[in-house]
């Protein structure tokens, strides 16, 4: 079994944590040319028509989209189960995962556009970062309410909702935004990061961050195009970065999801 991934992709991190929690062996591969929008290996392109990670190849089975891959893993390797057993908790886990994969992911993605891609500097960068901090803190309040007095979002044990939250909060922490360590959410972050599956995945992400600082030069040369799609595009516009989008379109150094071939 092969998983095409990138260590910094929270979507790929979700799947890697699940594989490690289930102790399912899988070869991890980084797609050649990721971020260029072209030149992908045929097996990756066939598995992921959106040219996005993660993509899973298991024999003749080819899957893209982290949520669908997680469903597949839980059905093929049901133990340990990552989804709660009762309908209410299962629906709640899916709700948390969806919120993190869309609204929260866009915050971290936008911060990456500023810190690593240098698409905004000066007063504009300050405004975008300030707005991102306010948005993240609002989501932390929501997550705190969802966690309540429980140890885990998924209920009595670590599960799908938890592995769907921790990559994003670790991503925010990389930008200096993290809930108070003494808060209920901060204590949950510590518990989650103490799990070997999470720790290994987080360490891989941290180790890969340094390579991002070379990207502004590649963007300027048109050799790297970061994908603007759905909630990411919405975030940049509503948070005050419309000029960033317009400049990227003008310079042709941003991209959108490709048409399916």
Predicted pLDDT of residue 78: 97
* Rounded-to-integer distance, Cα 188 and Cα 60, Å: 38
Res. 36: pLDDT tops 80: no
**What pLDDT band is residue 41 in, cutting at 50, 70 and 90?**
low
Q: Which fold has domain 2-76?
A: Glutaredoxin (3.40.30)
Question: Lowest-pLDDT range, 5-19, 40-54, 65-79?
Answer: 40-54
CA atoms within 13 A on the CB side of 36: 11
Bridge partners, residue 64, by sequence: 55
Res. 38: pLDDT tops 80: no
CA angle at 189 for the pair 186 and 191, rounded to the nearest 5°: 115
pTM: 0.95
Q: Residue 245: name the closest of 257, 236, 235 by CA.
A: 236
What pLDDT, in 10s, does the model give residues 91-136?
A: 999 999 999 999 999 999 999 999 999 999 999 999 999 999 999 9
* Rounded-to-integer distance, Cα 73 and Cα 22, Å: 9
Percentages helix, strand, coil for the chain, rounded to the nearest 5? 60, 10, 35
Q: What is the mean pLDDT of the chain?
A: 94
Q: Specify whether the CB–CB gap between 218 and 224 falls below 8 A.
A: yes
Predicted pLDDT of residue 201: 98
Predicted pLDDT of residue 49: 87
What pLDDT, in 10s, does the model give residues 208-255?
A: 988 888 889 988 888 889 999 999 999 999 999 999 999 999 999 999
Burial class of residue 43 (count of CB atoms within 10 Å of its CB; 0-12, 13-18, 19+): middle
What pLDDT, in 10s, does the model give residues 102-113?
A: 999 999 999 999
């Amino acid at each position: 079994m092969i998983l095409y991934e990138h260590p910094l992709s929270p979507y790929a991190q979700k799947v890697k944590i699940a594989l490690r929690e289930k102790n399912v062996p899988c070869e991890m591969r980084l797609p050649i040319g990721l971020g260029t929008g072209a030149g992908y290996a045929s097996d990756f392109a066939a598995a992921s028509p959106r040219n996005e990670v993660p993509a899973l190849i298991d024999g003749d089975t080819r899957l893209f989209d982290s949520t669908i891959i997680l469903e597949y893993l839980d059905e093929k390797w049901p133990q340990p189960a990552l989804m709660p057993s009762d309908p209410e908790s299962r629906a709640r886990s899916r709700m948390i995962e969806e919120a993190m994969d869309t609204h929260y992911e866009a915050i971290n993605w936008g911060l990456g556009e500023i810190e690593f891609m240098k698409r905004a500097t000066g007063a504009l960068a300050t405004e975008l970062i300030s707005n991102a901090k306010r948005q993240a803190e609002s989501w932390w309040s929501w997550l705190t309410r969802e966690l309540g007095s429980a140890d885990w979002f998924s209920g009595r044990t670590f599960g799908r909702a938890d592995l769907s939250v921790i990559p994003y909060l670790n991503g925010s922490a990389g930008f200096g935004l993290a809930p108070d360590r003494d808060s209920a959410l901060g204590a949950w972050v510590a518990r989650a990061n103490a799990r070997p599956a999470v720790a290994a995945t987080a360490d891989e992400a941290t180790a890969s961050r340094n390579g991002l600082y070379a990207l502004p030069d590649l963007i300027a040369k048109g050799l790297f195009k970061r994908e603007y799609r759905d909630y990411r595009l919405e975030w940049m516009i509503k948070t005050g970065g419309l000029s960033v989008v317009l400049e990227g379109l003008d310079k042709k150094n941003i991209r959108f999801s490709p048409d399916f071939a």
